[in-house]
Structure formats: structure tokens, C-alpha cells
Amino acid sequence: GNNVGKENGTCEGISEGEGSDEMVCGVGDGDQLERPGAAQGDALHLQRRVGLFSGVALIVGTMIGSGIFVSPSGLLVRTGSVGMSFLIWIACGVLSLLGALAYAELGTMNTSSGAEYAYFMDAFGPLPAFLFSWVSTLVLKPSQMAIICLSLAKYSVEAFYSIDCDPPPIVVKMVAVLAIMIILAINCYSVNLATSVMNLFTAAKLLAIAIVIGAGMYKLFEGNTEYLARPFEGTTYSMGNIATAFYTGLWAYDGWNNLNYVTEEIKNPSKNLPRSIAIAIPLVTICYVLINVSYLAVMSPAEMAESEAVAVTFGNRVLGVTAWLIPVSVTISTFGSAHGTLFAAGRLCFAASREGHLLNILSYVHVRRLTPAPGLIFHSLIAVAMVASGTIDSLIDFFSFTAWIFYGGAMLALIVMRYTRPNFPRPYKVPIIIPVLVLVISLYLIVAPIVDTPQIEYLYATFFILGGLIFYVPFVHYGYTSPWMEKFTVFCQLLFEVAPTQTLIG
């Protein structure tokens, strides 16, 4: 069906404009590159639509979410001084840029979507790739959703409470769950709606950032520089504190690898992938540093460390009667980012399930709406459980710890493939020192917090990763299926009205 193909195309699309029906899901388009890692029957294959501009927008839109509105306080507490916190904000930007440049080599070498999943498959084989998809579906993507929606709730609820009275946690959690439900509904309803929502919210978020920076710079030029005057007073030098401060900062930058999930849709990826990275990440770094300067132009480090919602405090002091702009913009920014995160999670489900690495049902799409509903519902349920059980800070540590194990793994994959696949075409090649450096830093980021301030979250994360092995051996390696599981799949198919993509494209 033409109709099916068309909608399905947008299912993965960061689409701008309509292509002809066949082109959207045309497997054999002239401008498609050969994809070394791609399996047969990959019906969800898209036209290349993401150019330089949308590439940059996609990275910036994902990176700017909740972090810049919640992390500055935590980062200040963990580093103890303004100067050190600025150094960490900048270092996080540089680290993200270096990591992303290494991802550019990986992404131009293996142009199949799914990022880490595809690279692990190439470099280390199916087991590490499986463990990655296991951890991403069960932990990484849901915890991203949970953190972003908790921040959304905190800011939107804060607006209704007086300055010296914190909103009750239960209210915050309920709003977060509500946000997850709305985002889930949008994503299940229609892919076209989902892409429009994403574009609209990205634009709104850039406006919000511009307002904060503009107002802050104005205050600064009025002469409010006292809090920036003695930057290094009170700095901590504890290695564990520095590492967890990095976690806080790196959360705000997370998403720097997001374009690698959609390499199959980038026009001329060998040029546009590295270029988008080289523009987007420095741009975000500059925004973040300037926002921090703005915050400190109107409040002291102590006030900032205490503030439950820095941007609201900022708005109340600077924007006068238009202070309501801040909670509204933060809600928009976080909503957009959570929405994009769930959207991307669906894509990962496809990449992993076409190799038989996830429950089949998770890769099915709704027969009429053509959205990957089961995967989305599954992610959202786990996110709700995380919202119920965690706090923003504990979830950020938990997330960053786990994520950096895999970012480090991707660096290792790059280095290994320089030896095991020396003749693979590499349209963009990073100096080898970059992945080596990022690998060393990621090892530090994983080990230092455990040694310095052990938290139960790190243990949970490790168990989760290893728990994947228990499932891998019978279900993936030996391909075991029980009649019970087949019944369950059929039951879910009928309940959610979903079907495998191959039968739809047929």
C-alpha cells in the first residue's frame, strides 16, 4: 500500500516536506549508501532528508532540555566554586565535542541507524550489541524520560507555589507522570504530529534561551559582576566530587550523539554529519556558559545553590511582570526534549529488533496509525516506575554512569576497528588521540564516583547490564521461544492492534 509506505516513512523521519510515496520507503533509492551492518527485510528505510540545517537543529534540540535549568545548582554544590563550575561546564562541552567527532567517524563508516548498537555489532559482535540494546530499552531511554519529565514537573508546579514553600513531591511526581502520558499519546497517535511538535518546541526553546541570555547580559553590563569577581574561592578538589559534577554537567550536554541514530536519513552523511556536530556542540557550549554567567549576574552562588529552580529565581528578579515566561519556556523546552527522546527510543527498538535482539512485539507498529506503539508504551511504563521511585539527582547519576560505560565502549569500538577493519572506507577520520582521550576520561568517570562515593545506584546499573546475559543465552543465542511467549505476542497484537512492519510493507 502506498499509504502505508508513506506514513511509515515519516515514522522514522525528521521529515520536512513530502516525498513521493515510493521514495519515502524506497529501499533502493539512488542516493542510499551501501550499509554494511543492515539486515534483510529492513522495510523502514528512508529517503535522505536531513541536511546540514536540520542536522544542527536535531542535535541542538535534543541537547537543550532540562539540564541547563536544573544542573547549575547541583554543579555549583559539587564543585564548591563559581570558577570550577565554569571550568566543568566548558570541559563537558569539549568532551561532548570530542566524543561526537569520534562518533562522526563511526557514523560515516557504518551508516546504519541505531548508533552504538550498530558499532558494537561491527566491532565486538552480537553480545555487546545486545547488552547495549537491553540496557538502553530498560534503563537509558526510560531514565532520560523520567529525569526530563521530573524537571518539567518541578518547574511547572513551582510556578504555582509561593517562593518559600516547596511543592510537595507527590504533586511533582504526578505532573511528571501526566507529562509522560501526554507525550506517549502524541507519539502513538501520529508520526506527523510528533514531528511538528518537535519542530515547534525546538524553536520555542531557543527563544527561551535567548531571553535568559539577553536579560543576564543586560544585568551584567549594568555592573552586576560581584559574584563573578573571586571565582575560585571554596573549590573542592575531591576526585569523586569532580566526577559527579561532571555527571551533572554532562547530563545537560547529553544528546550530542543523537544524529548518529538517524544516519540512514542524512543527505551526504560523510560531509553533513561531521559538520553538524562541529557547529551544534560549540553552539550549545556557548549558550550554556552564557546562561550560567546570566544566572550569576543576578544571584549569589549561595542563592543559586539553594534555589530549587534557578531559572525561576532568575526570572523573578529580572523579568518583573513577565517572570511567568520562564516556567512556561522551561516546560516547553523539557516537553520537547522528552518528546524527542521517546521518538528516538522507538528507532532504537527497530534497529535492535531487526537483529532479533528484542522481544518481537516491541518492534511492531500500530496497523492504522503506523506508530511503534508497543515499544513506546513499554518505555513509558518503565519511565513512570522511575519517576515514582527516584529523584532527579539520583536518576542523573544512575543515567550518566550507565551511559558513559557505553560511550566509552564506542570509543573502544573505534580504536579496535582501526586494527580489525583497516581498509573499511572512512570518509571522515578523527585523529586517534581523540577517542583514546575520551576513552580514558570515560574510564575515570565510571570508576572515580564508585571509589569515592559509592552509591547503590551504581550497583543496580551493573546488575542490570549483567542481567542481560541471563536473557541473551537462551533467547537470543539459542533462539528459544516457548508457546507461552507466542500466545503472549498474539494477545498483545490483538490488544494493541499492532503487526510486524514486514507484513505491513509486504
Q: Which residues contact ligand ARG by CB under 6 A? A: 62-63, 65-67, 144, 148, 251-252, 254-255, 258, 337, 341
SS (H, E, C) 16-49: CCCCCHHHHHCCCCCCCCCCCCCCCCCCCCCCCC
Residue 403 CB, shortest distance to ligand ARG, in Å, is 8
Cβ-based nearer residue to ligand ARG, 199 or 502 = 199
Alpha carbons 438 and 134: distance in angstroms, whole number:
24
- What is the residue type of 297? A
- What is the residue type of 20? S
SS (H, E, C) 167-229: CCHHHHHHHHHHHHHHHHHHHHHCHHHHHHHHHHHHHHHHHHHHHHHHHHHHHHHCCCCHHHC
Residue 457 CB, shortest distance to ligand ARG, in Å, is 18
Cβ-based nearer residue to ligand ARG, 4 or 118 = 118
- Count the neighbouring beta carbons within 10 Å of the beta carbon of residue 28: 7
Cβ-based nearer residue to ligand ARG, 400 or 501 = 400
Cell numbers found for residue 349: 527498538
Cell numbers found for residue 474: 537462551
Cell numbers found for residue 243: 566526577
Cβ-based nearer residue to ligand ARG, 387 or 492 = 387
Residue 70 CB, shortest distance to ligand ARG, in Å, is 8
Cβ-based nearer residue to ligand ARG, 19 or 72 = 72
Residue 71 CB, shortest distance to ligand ARG, in Å, is 7
Cβ-based nearer residue to ligand ARG, 120 or 399 = 399
Cα–Cα nearest to 339, from 129, 157, 152, 187: 187
Cell numbers found for residue 47: 529517503
Cβ-based nearer residue to ligand ARG, 331 or 341 = 341
Residue 229 CB, shortest distance to ligand ARG, in Å, is 29
Cell numbers found for residue 353: 529488533
CA–centroid distance for 307 within its chain: 25
Cell numbers found for residue 422: 583497516
Residue 441 CB, shortest distance to ligand ARG, in Å, is 18
Residue 281 CB, shortest distance to ligand ARG, in Å, is 12
Alpha carbons 310 and 72: distance in angstroms, whole number:
8
Residue 91 CB, shortest distance to ligand ARG, in Å, is 16
Q: What is the dihedral of CA 118, 120, 124, 126, to 10 degrees?
A: -60
Cβ-based nearer residue to ligand ARG, 149 or 476 = 149
Alpha carbons 400 and 406: distance in angstroms, whole number:
10
Cβ-based nearer residue to ligand ARG, 66 or 292 = 66
Cα–Cα nearest to 346, from 110, 121, 104, 44: 44
Residue 367 CB, shortest distance to ligand ARG, in Å, is 28
